[in-house]
């Protein structure tokens, strides 16, 4: 029998989660300093936590806006004011554009990660082009936090039939006002919605366990892991049959991973690993049901899948542009080439460019650039002509795609 869930298995598969928790608790060496060129840190999480704390004191939010790997092996990324970049409205009603707080603010820090892992601040801009609002600091997404005891209280009251609104109002009273809370009612609603996904119906978890047991009795190469939380609630499930494990030995050089499928009444994403065989046919290399789509969950899944495949990592992996997925791949598959799925990108073209007056012409030219370029120089020439011809220099979506074209 290859794999059955035990507490020791859980500890082994959760080691990656503990690593992320440890990084979050890293000591910040420059806690009281203003950002300066030359500052050094021991991890990306440390510099991010430092800049987030600085932003909270100065009353602005932050976000990561750029990340790239250079030809010299170094990595570069930028942490910026959350009002950076230019807003492009996707509203179909010209009289009611989508609201935005983006003002192309230039306040940011640029960070370089050297080959030996040293992290250094390479450029700093402190000036904002908008007013800072100390009273609104707690509303910034990067500052919102639900502590464990708050989560526990929300869960217990939800099970007792107390709705989120009443629950939140009682917390406001206890905290002596909204300003003393690090979260809002919407955050509570989102958390409870997530928790409800994990509450399987009576007998559902047992039915899954019984099914997996039966499959394993029929073939001892059937592999499965059931991930539970500290309350023994089922969170994530992974399984792979003997055919999938054998296929990976022959066709595991390049895989695709996709979570755009939603299945069953729990609205849990179905996440398959897929390869291509010598006939050009898709072959299933394992699959999972996930409770969440964050870095920790993806890290657990990739680590579990890697163990199932005897520790042999793929040479390349193709995914959508999900940032949490990207973070997990960098940790679990550090040597694999990570590329974005072109289908997912091109599917966004109508949404991102559909409001432009020359949309049909731009779409035709973009398809030619993407699908019919015969070389790097050919692509660069066609891309430059498209941008210049239709004056797309300020289009943020196209700019970000070009910056990440190595993916």
The per-residue b/e assignment along 87-112, b for 16 or more CB within 10 angstroms, e otherwise, is ebeeeeeeeeeeeeeeeebebbbbbe
* pLDDT value, residue 267: 60
Asked if residue 158 and residue 57 are part of one domain, the reply reads: no
Provide the token pair at 315: 């040479």
Asked if residue 131 and residue 155 are part of one domain, the reply reads: no
- Residue 14 is assigned to a structural domain of this protein: no
CA atoms of 327 and 26, how far apart (whole Å): 18
* pLDDT value, residue 143: 63
Asked if residue 63 and residue 121 are part of one domain, the reply reads: yes
Domain at 228, CATH number: 3.30.420
The HSE-up count of residue 87 (CA atoms within 13 Å, CB side) is: 13
Asked if residue 316 and residue 226 are part of one domain, the reply reads: yes
- Residue 11 is assigned to a structural domain of this protein: no
Domain boundary among 190, 218, 246: 218
Report the interhelical angle of 164-174 vs 148-159 (nearest 10°).
Answer: 140
The HSE-up count of residue 148 (CA atoms within 13 Å, CB side) is: 1
* pLDDT value, residue 203: 57
Domain boundary among 310, 326, 343: 343
- Residue 300 is assigned to a structural domain of this protein: yes
Instruction: Considering only CA atoms, give the Rg of the chain.
Output: 24
- Residue 131 is assigned to a structural domain of this protein: yes
What does 151-185 look like in DSSP terms, one character per residue?
HHHHHHHHHTT--HHHHHHHHHHHTTSGGG-SS-H
Asked if residue 226 and residue 172 are part of one domain, the reply reads: no
Asked if residue 228 and residue 199 are part of one domain, the reply reads: no
* pLDDT value, residue 338: 94
Strand partners, 124: 109
Residues spanned by the domain of 203: 144-218
Single pTM value for the model: 0.56
Domain boundary among 303, 321, 343: 343
Asked if residue 153 and residue 130 are part of one domain, the reply reads: no
Question: What contacts 285, CB < 8 A, 6 or more positions away?
Answer: 240, 244, 247, 248, 251, 252, 255, 272, 273, 274, 275, 309
- Residue 25 is assigned to a structural domain of this protein: no
Strand partners, 338: 317
Asked if residue 226 and residue 161 are part of one domain, the reply reads: no
* pLDDT value, residue 201: 54
Question: What contacts 293, CB < 8 A, 6 or more positions away?
Answer: 259, 269, 322, 324, 325
CA atoms of 248 and 165, how far apart (whole Å): 49
Report the domain count for the chain.
4
227 within 8 A of 236, measured Cβ to Cβ = yes
- Residue 315 is assigned to a structural domain of this protein: yes
The tens-digit pLDDT sequence of the chain (407 residues) is: 344 443 334 444 444 344 434 434 444 455 557 888 988 888 888 888 888 888 877 778 888 887 787 777 788 889 988 888 765 555 555 555 555 567 788 889 999 888 877 889 999 988 888 877 666 666 566 666 777 888 888 888 887 788 888 888 888 888 888 767 777 788 888 888 777 665 555 556 677 888 888 999 999 999 999 887 766 677 889 999 999 999 999 999 999 998 876 554 556 788 999 999 999 999 999 999 888 888 999 999 999 999 999 999 999 999 988 889 999 999 999 999 999 999 889 989 998 998 888 899 999 999 999 999 999 999 999 999 999 999 998 898 999 899 888 88
- Residue 257 has what DSSP assignment? E
- Residue 97 is assigned to a structural domain of this protein: yes
* pLDDT value, residue 251: 94
CA atoms of 110 and 122, how far apart (whole Å): 6
Find, among 170, 178, 181, 179, the residue nearest to 144 by Cα: 181
- Residue 381 is assigned to a structural domain of this protein: yes
121 within 8 A of 111, measured Cβ to Cβ = yes
* pLDDT value, residue 208: 81
Asked if residue 181 and residue 80 are part of one domain, the reply reads: no
CA atoms of 324 and 296, how far apart (whole Å): 8
Asked if residue 271 and residue 228 are part of one domain, the reply reads: yes
Asked if residue 207 and residue 125 are part of one domain, the reply reads: no
* pLDDT value, residue 14: 45
Asked if residue 211 and residue 116 are part of one domain, the reply reads: no
Alpha helices in 178-220 (DSSP H): 185-198, 204-218
Q: 167 exposed, middle or buried (CB, 10 Å; 0-12, 13-18, 19+)?
A: buried
């Amino acid at each position: 029998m290859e794999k059955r869930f035990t507490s020791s298995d859980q500890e082994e598969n959760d080691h990656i989660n503990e690593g992320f928790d440890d990084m979050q608790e890293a000591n910040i060496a420059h806690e009281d300093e203003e950002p300066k060129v030359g500052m050094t840190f021991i991890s990306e999480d440390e510099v991010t936590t430092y800049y987030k704390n600085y932003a909270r004191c100065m009353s602005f939010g932050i976000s990561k806006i750029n990340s790239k790997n250079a030809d010299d092996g170094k990595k570069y990324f930028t942490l910026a004011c959350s009002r950076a970049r230019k807003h492009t409205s996707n509203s179909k009603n010209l009289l009611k554009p989508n609201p935005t707080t983006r003002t192309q603010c230039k306040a940011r820090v640029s960070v370089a990660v050297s080959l030996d892992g040293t992290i250094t601040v390479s450029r700093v801009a402190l000036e904002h082009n908008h007013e800072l609002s100390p009273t609104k600091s707690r509303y910034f997404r990067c500052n919102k936090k639900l502590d464990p005891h708050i989560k526990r209280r929300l869960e217990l009251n939800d099970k007792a039939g107390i709705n989120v609104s009443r629950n939140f109002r009682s917390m406001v009273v206890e905290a002596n006002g909204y300003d003393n809370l690090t979260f809002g009612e919407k955050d509570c609603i989102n958390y409870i919605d997530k928790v409800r996904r994990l509450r399987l119906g009576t007998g559902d978890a047992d039915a899954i366990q019984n099914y997996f047991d039966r499959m394993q009795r029929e073939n001892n190469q059937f592999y499965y892991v059931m991930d539970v939380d500290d309350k023994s609630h089922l969170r994530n499930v992974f399984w792979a049959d003997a055919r999938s494990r054998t296929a990976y030995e022959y066709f595991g050089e390049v895989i695709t991973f996709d979570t755009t499928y939603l299945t069953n009444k729990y609205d849990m994403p179905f996440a398959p690993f897929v390869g291509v065989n010598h006939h050009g046919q898709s072959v299933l290399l394992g699959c999972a049901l996930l409770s969440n789509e964050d870095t920790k969950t993806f890290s657990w899944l990739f680590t579990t899948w890697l163990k199932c495949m005897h520790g042999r990592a793929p040479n390349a992996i193709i995914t959508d542009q999900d940032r949490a997925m990207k973070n997990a791949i960098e940790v679990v598959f550090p040597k694999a080439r990570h590329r974005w799925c072109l289908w997912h990108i091109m599917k966004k073209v109508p949404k991102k460019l559909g409001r432009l007056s020359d949309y049909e012409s731009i779409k035709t030219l973009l398809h030619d650039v993407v699908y019919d370029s015969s070389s790097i120089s050919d692509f660069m020439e066609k891309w430059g002509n498209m941008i210049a011809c239709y004056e797309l220099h300020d289009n943020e979506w196209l700019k970000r795609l070009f910056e990440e074209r190595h993916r």
